[in-house]
A and B are shown apart, each in its own frame.
Chain A
Amino acid sequence: MAISQWRQHFDEALNRTLDRTVRLAVTGLSRSGKTVFITSLVQQLLHSADNPHLPFFKVAGEGRLRGTKPQSQPDLHIPAFRYDVALEAFLADPPRFPEPTNGISEIRLAIRYKSSNKIIQKLSKINTLYVDIIDYPGEWLLDLPLLEWSFDEWSRQIALLCDKSPRNHLSEAWRVFLDAVDVTKETNETTLRQASELYTQFLLACKDKQQGLTLLQPGRFTMPGDLKGAPLLEFCPILKIPLGVKKEDSFYGIMKKRYESYKEHVVKKFYKEHFSNFDRQIVLVDVLKTFNTGFHTFVDMREAIHLVLKSFHYGKSGVFNRLFRFQTKVDKLLFAATKADHITPNQLPNLERFLQLMLMQANNNARFEGVETETLALSALQCTTPVSASFQGKPLSCIKGIPNDSEKPLAIFPGEIPVEIPPPEDWTTERFYFVDFRPPLLHDAHALPHLRMDRALEFLLGDKFS
């Protein structure tokens, strides 16, 4: 009796130690496909036990998965991730994509599986892996580099950016306004508000689809979320830093103070709560968008991603670790080119090679710190089907789908993905023409059609199921 009781206790304790938690950081600039990726990932896992479309996700392929359930998340003050809302949008008629995310949300999945390890199998028949994922607006990610910069440094960066086209003419109004203000003198609330409003308008103009710029700081200005209208967001950088101004209530002094409190109360809090302690990271990049909008947006996006990833610095010396005194222990990092269904399958290797080229520096840094990295082209929700059309008597592989802004299906050969970064004058519609497709008509949402989600899952989580 006593022994059997003891045994039971032992088993429970053992189970607890065998259960593991993985915190997966899904990183991506705004509109890079985070929400769709997380929804697809959740949906693939929820139906993984009977899903034949995950052949390269080993636990599923080997039939060791027992099932997945969403669980109440560990951080009770964060809203739950509403994958059901995204699913509803996919299943609507006509199907559409979810709205841009405007706040933070979290989901925890409990995945039951049978271990492949004989010893663990003996100890416990079924194990559980908990996966925590957080969704947030991509705009906020660009706040991360601010943590490292003082107000002066940041202002200098912005001034540099505003020298070049197209930012120089987009920022015209704001710059003219600033030039008229003497930043060393005392000022009133209206001037401050006007300056920050003009700056916000400038950022929004950059964000516009036509411009397609991504390196926009501070992130809350373009996506305020719960801080909409809060005085915390009423500041802006200054183009010419005055020397030796000590006055606290000058224009410069106030802006600087507000910048610091933005960092302290908004940025630090966000990262401390949500980006601490993750084990695995996926960086989603929408490479194709830049092909459509031109070379300068490509440079802008590359810069933004590098800035963000630099702050994630994986070794001991990263800002993260210095600021918050914890050691990020991420050991696997996946760079993923999203929306791979916009190109023909034979271009997938090229897309991967291009992304590798684009993020070479970040990749090298991570590897240097001992992080295992991989590059993959994937599509969380496959919206097109590959078709073959005859063109000038030869078969040509195309993709077919319904564009977002139309009702008619379209077959298109969107252009070849280059394996080298093309010269700026080549980024034209003559060469690239990627169309945004709407989600496919789904009869049920059991397993969303995807491209290579199984590979991503295997890389990110596969080893945890051993």
Chain B
Amino acid sequence: MTTKWQTPIIFDLDDLNAHPQESNRRPQPPIILSEVETTISNAEMASNSESFSNENISETEKPDLKLEGFPALAQLVEKGGKLWEKLSIPTTSPLFWLFCGLGLWWIGILVVDSVSFIAARFSNNFLIGLFFLGLFGVIIVSLSRLIWAAWQDFLALKSVSNLQTEGQDLLESKNYGQGISYVSKIARFYTQRQDVKERLDHFYMTVNDSHSNSEVCALFSKQVLKELDEQAHRLILKQSKETALLVALSPRAFLSTILTLWSTIKMIRDLATLYGGRPGLISSISLIGKVFQSLIYAGVSEHIAQSVSDLLGGSLLSVVSAQLAQGVGSGILTARVGLHAMQTCRPLPFRTDERPQWQSIAKEIWASFKSSDFSFGKTKTA
């Protein structure tokens, strides 16, 4: 008889690592096992099953490379191949090849020129040649280190967005076992942070194997990330209030724009640091790019005008000064940039009911204006 289900199995144990024996209480034990190791499962159970599935995947995806003799190299190539896929660079586009060609051309010229230049120095004078060779070496080393750092940076950012996609799946899953290992990947961001560590410990105390993946994520979000969210919220609020005031008061539009831009970028970087990334140059740029990209997707510009007039009330808008409206508007813009940065940096995506609302920040900005209304009016008239 073929069965569709897994039959019950019993392992009789004296202690954790004992071998199973046939249980005599059981009339008909379906399966007797010769050797069994049981482990207290927690994250371990998950990682077991994970490595298991990874094995499967890597077997099917292994590229056809004849590098059996060099396992390390083979691994590297495989890894690189995977990365290449992940980066999703459009290799079919002629523009890509144009830029590649130009770049290589330029580098080639540089290298060839430098080499012949150094060779010329050597033929002139050995010491001068040595000096330039040394200089060349220094340049090469520092350049490659910079590139390496940027690459690492880029990978870190990539890992956040990978974590986010994984987290999104887990939040919606009803399964068991992957939640804790996923969360411990996030927790690695916070190993140095004393304040987060306490809450992490509490979280690990609370969570257990019978929590489903989505429950584990919800718990982590509630017990560990919520505090960070609140800090981020405060940061954004402060920044948007400042921006709003700055724009409303500043006599020079150009100056205020520059200042706003600068402080916004600083805010984005602060948020990234808060959520555990240490943004370098590249990741900052791509982060900022991402944030603005998502902002454009959201069609902010249309919203801003609407929201300002919502806040002030249509009739009021004509009464208050245009500059005040501008101030509030740029404050709201900053807030939205901040919230998008939050969503980009938070390793575990927000659940729908947790997602921060910019409207509440907008209200607070407006409230802060109202409370400082008098002094504000006076400075304007004075």
Contacts and interface: CB of A to CB of B under 8 A. Distances in A.
Interface in A358-413: 382, 385-391, 394-398, 400, 405-406, 408-413
Given A389-B11, A400-B38, A410-B10, A430 B30 contact: yes
A432 B8 contact: yes
Q: Which bucket holds chain A's interface residue count? A: 35 or more
Nearest to A390: B37
Interface in A324-347: 340, 345-346
A389 B8 contact: no
Nearest to A54: B206
Contact of B206 (A55, A413, A452): A55
A418 B41 contact: no
20 contacts: A61-B222, A345-B209, A346-B177, A382-B210, A386-B209, A387-B38, A387-B40, A388-B38, A389-B38, A391-B33, A395-B45, A397-B177, A409-B15, A410-B10, A411-B11, A418-B5, A430-B7, A431-B3, A431-B7, A452-B210
B212 interface: yes
A390 B36 contact: yes
B222 A410 contact: no
Nearest to A352: B174
Given A388-B38, A429-B28, A452-B210, A413 B13 contact: no
Contact of A412 (B8, B27, B40, B212): B8
A412 B38 CA distance: 11
Interface centre among A345, A413, A414 (most CB of B within 10 A): A345
Contacts of B15: 409
Contacts of B3: 430-431
B5 A416 contact: yes
A53 to B, nearest CB: 6
A386 B27 contact: no
B52 A395 contact: yes
A386 B223 CA distance: 24
B202 interface: yes
Given A52-B205, A414-B8, 14 more contacts: A53-B205, A55-B207, A348-B212, A349-B212, A387-B41, A391-B36, A397-B177, A398-B11, A408-B12, A409-B15, A411-B12, A430-B7, A432-B8, A433-B8
A283 interface: no
B10 A412 contact: yes
B174 A349 contact: yes
B176 A346 contact: yes
A451 interface: yes
Nearest to B11: A411
A408 B14 contact: yes
A414 to B, nearest CB: 5
